[in-house]
Amino acid sequence: MSLHGNYDPQNIFAQIIRGEAPCYKLYEDDDVLAFLDLFPQSFGHTLVIPKRAAARNILDIDADNLCKLIRVAQHLAQVLVDELQPEGVQVAQFNGAPAGQTVFHIHMHIIPRFAGQGMGVHATSKADPTELEQLQARLVQRLRG
């Protein structure tokens, strides 16, 4: 069952944390990393992950790392709202394949929601790299602001 089992250190987010796979990084501290989703469900779709927790999901993670994760998720949600001015923002977290989880390293989704625009299908359409680079630059600038 995907809700249970051993943590796979070769999952794509673990590779990103180790610098073995690329990402459009927005934010990093000692404990948490945030980057753009490669298959965004809306403009600005961002992922926030713990760096020091080998946790598949919310059942596995220790409270300290979970608190650090949610604090950064809140900060990034504010930055996305300030920069992109969506009418809504969705914060989501999936546990186990039947719940929609596809990468088994715990993460928070921050998905800006724009009035009149539906949400893209989960983990399906790859974004244009130029668009992601430009968006990354905007958001990093706003984070520094």
23 contacts ligand AMP (rule: CB under 6 A): yes
60 contacts ligand AMP (rule: CB under 6 A): no
Considering the complex, state which of residue 79 and residue 132 has its C-beta at the smaller distance from ligand AMP. Answer: 132
102 contacts ligand AMP (rule: CB under 6 A): yes
Print the SS3 string covering the chain: CCCCCCCCCCCHHHHHHCCCCCCCEEEECCCEEEEECCCCCCCCCEEEEECCCCCCCCCCCCHHHHHHHHHHHHHHHHHHHHHHCCCEEEEECCCCHHHCCCCCCCCEEEEEECCCCCCCCCCCCCCCHHHHHHHHHHHHHHHHC
Beta carbon of residue 101, minimum distance to ligand AMP (angstroms, whole number)? 4
91 contacts ligand AMP (rule: CB under 6 A): no
- Is 107 one of the annotated active-site residues of the chain? yes
Which is catalytic among the residues 45, 105, 107, 109?
A: 107
Considering the complex, state which of residue 79 and residue 104 has its C-beta at the smaller distance from ligand AMP. Answer: 104
Among all residues, which ones are annotated catalytic? 107
Chain residues that interact with ligand AMP, rule: CB under 6 A = 12, 23, 37-39, 47, 94, 100-103, 122-123
